[in-house]
Amino acid sequence: MQQNRKSFDEAVAFHGHSCPGLAIGYRASVLALDELFSGRSEDEELVCIAENDACSIDAVQVVTGCTIGKGNLLFRDFGKQVYTFILRDKSDAVRIALKNDVSMDRIDPAALAVREKVFSGTATAEEHALFDAAKGRLIDTYLHAPGGEIFSIRHVPAEIPEKARIFRSVCCEACGEMVSESRARLRDGRVVCIPCSDEYRGIHR
């Protein structure tokens, strides 16, 4: 482990609880930094394209320093546990995808059977204990099993995203709130934000 690398406990503290999704994001991030011989991104040296918006993303932010606010954590709404990490200065990139044979239903089918009861609040104490133990084993697998057993890891051509840009703000002529110029829409010659554009009924002054 590289010096000063964020621990899983730090990711848990940031996220609020320990869960398999967080462990996926943590391990994927650690593997990516190792593959790219990279440290944590202080600015936009490293970019992550995440294909989901699940718990894993919090670990990505903690470990890699890629964040929505800095513009180097890009979200693609594909519902996949897949992450592409791109190192700008070396034009190197690695794509890390969770394999389909590492999940609770394959590791412990009995725990999967009570999952719905646990989430609905109808599980017994014994069922909770069964599920929590299986969840702990799955987290441990994600954190400690050989990376190649959990993920498909392959270097890919680096398609460098444009650096984050700062746009001026304009006033929506429907609701009066400020909106980034890059997200504003024009309706009947009036500047409106996306929500007002979607619900457009005309602007009367």
Question: What range defines the domain where residue 186 resides?
Answer: 169-198
CA separation for the pair 36, 47 (Å, rounded): 12
Asked whether residue 92 falls in the same domain as residue 182, the answer is no
Asked whether residue 194 falls in the same domain as residue 149, the answer is no
Other Cβ atoms less than 10 A from the Cβ of 131: the count is: 22
Asked whether residue 98 falls in the same domain as residue 183, the answer is no
The pLDDT of residue 205 = 40
Residue 173 covered by a domain: yes
Residue 122 covered by a domain: no
Residue 139 covered by a domain: no
Q: Where are the beta strands (DSSP E) in the chain?
A: 46-50, 73-75, 82-87, 92-98, 151-157, 169-171, 178-180, 185-187, 190-192
Asked whether residue 67 falls in the same domain as residue 93, the answer is yes
SS3 content of the chain, % helix, strand, coil (to 5): 40, 20, 40
Residue 36 covered by a domain: yes
Backbone angles phi, psi at 13, to 5 degrees: -60, -40
Total domain count for the chain? 2
The pLDDT of residue 187 = 85
The pLDDT of residue 1 = 47
Give the contacts of 118 (CB within 8 A, at least 6 positions apart). Answer: 127, 128, 131
Asked whether residue 72 falls in the same domain as residue 151, the answer is yes
CA separation for the pair 13, 148 (Å, rounded): 27
Q: What is the pLDDT along the chain (205 residues), one digit of tens a residue?
A: 466 899 999 999 999 999 999 999 999 999 999 999 988 998 889 999 999 999 999 999 999 999 999 989 999 999 999 999 999 887 899 999 999 878 776 767 888 888 889 999 999 999 999 999 999 999 999 999 999 999 999 999 988 777 767 788 899 999 999 998 888 998 888 899 999 887 655 444 4
Residue 138 covered by a domain: no
**pTM tops 0.85, yes or no:** no
CATH assignment at residue 194: 3.30.60
Residue 91 covered by a domain: yes
The pLDDT of residue 103 = 78
- Cα–chain center distance at 134: 23
Q: Are 95 and 35 in contact (CB under 8 A)?
A: no
